[in-house]
């Protein structure tokens, strides 16, 4: 079946290079394939709109890796589309990792809290002994700690950091050197706290820098939706059509591409089914 298309000059206005012309011609070819009655395109799945942010990012990562390992040669539209998809995927993964940074900071705060308690407990235990020269030295150390108290672990991150630094400075004062020796484990515990505070500061700086960078970016939910639309609207139909037009060139890649989408959708369906069963079980139990 021969088909002739005629386009006015305005159709090509704004096109200034061969790459843009190539992309337009690829789209024209898709239209030719789709409207030709002799072709019966196999219905290809699209990524499920119920995909979570992480599921969408994982699908995007696998598709980007597929294109890196098995690129389609001499296809400008694919090259441009996958470049955009890769950038969008990396942006989404970065947003997901930002949540990991906050979780990491919380874990490091818990570690330094544990180190603070260890110092207080060790010094207090030494003080709760019969009066002796060594016990009196421990009492003097405890008097320094009591200026701050273990309540500092309940302060905000910023306040706690400031109080820890001040406490460490006071307790490590040269005039307390002999008193600290009365508590053999103390210097090691102080070193632990210095390390956990330094680790916390590093994660805090990283999170702060990340937040400053994210102030100019879109929310993760928006990026995930855009990534799904890019996969469904820019690639699914294109690869389906081009596989019909040139199966030798596109079929192997398309099979892998749509298998990734199928696997992602199965994961979504399994998750939703498990959630439904859980709700039904809870409802039955309440009755």
Is there a single domain that holds both residue 193 and residue 263?
no
CA distances from 107 to 103, 159, 182 (A): 6, 17, 32
User: Using one digit for the tens of pLDDT, what is the confidence trace for 9-25?
Assistant: 343 344 455 555 455 54
Assigned domain for 151 exists:
yes
Instruction: Judge whether residue 261 has pLDDT over 90.
Output: yes
Is there a single domain that holds both residue 143 and residue 202?
yes
Tokens 């002994």: give the residue: 129
Assigned domain for 2 exists:
no
User: Using one digit for the tens of pLDDT, what is the confidence trace for 209-223?
Assistant: 766 655 556 788 888
Assigned domain for 90 exists:
yes
* Per-residue model confidence (pLDDT) at position 44: 64
Is there a single domain that holds both residue 129 and residue 269?
no
Assigned domain for 82 exists:
yes
Assigned domain for 259 exists:
yes
Is there a single domain that holds both residue 199 and residue 223?
no
Is there a single domain that holds both residue 233 and residue 270?
yes
Assigned domain for 122 exists:
yes
Per-chain mean pLDDT for the chain: 83
* Per-residue model confidence (pLDDT) at position 205: 86
Tokens, residue 278 = 């859980």
* Per-residue model confidence (pLDDT) at position 37: 36
Is there a single domain that holds both residue 88 and residue 110?
no
* Per-residue model confidence (pLDDT) at position 94: 80
Assigned domain for 285 exists:
no
Is there a single domain that holds both residue 155 and residue 53?
no
Assigned domain for 48 exists:
yes
Structural domains in the chain (count): 2
Phi-psi region of 43 (alpha: psi -120 to 50; beta: other; left: phi over 0): beta
CA 225, CA 280: separation in Å to the nearest integer?
29
Instruction: Judge whether residue 5 has pLDDT over 70.
Output: no
Is there a single domain that holds both residue 77 and residue 174?
no
Q: Which domain holds residue 80?
A: 18-97+218-278
């Amino acid at each position: 079946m021969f088909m002739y298309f005629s386009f006015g000059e305005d159709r090509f206005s704004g096109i200034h290079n061969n790459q843009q012309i190539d992309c337009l011609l690829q789209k024209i070819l898709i239209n030719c394939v789709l409207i030709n009655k002799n072709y019966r395109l196999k219905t290809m799945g699209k990524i499920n709109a119920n995909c979570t942010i992480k599921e969408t990012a994982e699908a995007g990562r696998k598709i980007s890796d597929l294109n890196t390992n098995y690129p389609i040669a001499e296809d400008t539209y694919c090259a441009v589309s996958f470049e955009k998809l890769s950038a969008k995927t990396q942006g989404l993964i970065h947003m997901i990792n930002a949540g990991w940074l906050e979780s990491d900071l919380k874990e490091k705060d818990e570690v330094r809290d544990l180190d603070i308690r260890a110092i207080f407990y060790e010094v207090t235990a030494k003080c709760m002994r019969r009066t002796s020269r060594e016990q009196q030295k421990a009492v003097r150390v405890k008097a320094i700690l009591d200026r701050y108290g273990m309540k500092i672990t309940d302060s905000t991150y910023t306040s706690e950091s400031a109080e820890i630094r001040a406490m460490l400075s006071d307790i490590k004062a040269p005039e307390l050197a002999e008193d600290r020796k009365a508590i053999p484990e103390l210097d090691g515990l102080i070193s632990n706290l210095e390390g956990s505070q330094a680790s916390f500061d590093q994660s805090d700086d990283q999170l702060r820098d990340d937040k400053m960078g994210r102030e100019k970016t879109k929310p993760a939910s928006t990026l995930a939706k855009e990534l799904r639309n890019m996969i469904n609207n820019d690639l699914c139909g294109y690869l389906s059509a081009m596989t019909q037009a040139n199966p030798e060139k596109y079929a192997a890649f398309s099979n892998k591409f749509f298998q990734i989408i199928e696997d992602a959708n199965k994961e979504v369906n399994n998750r939703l089914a498990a959630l439904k069963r859980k709700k039904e079980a809870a409802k039955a139990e309440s009755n």
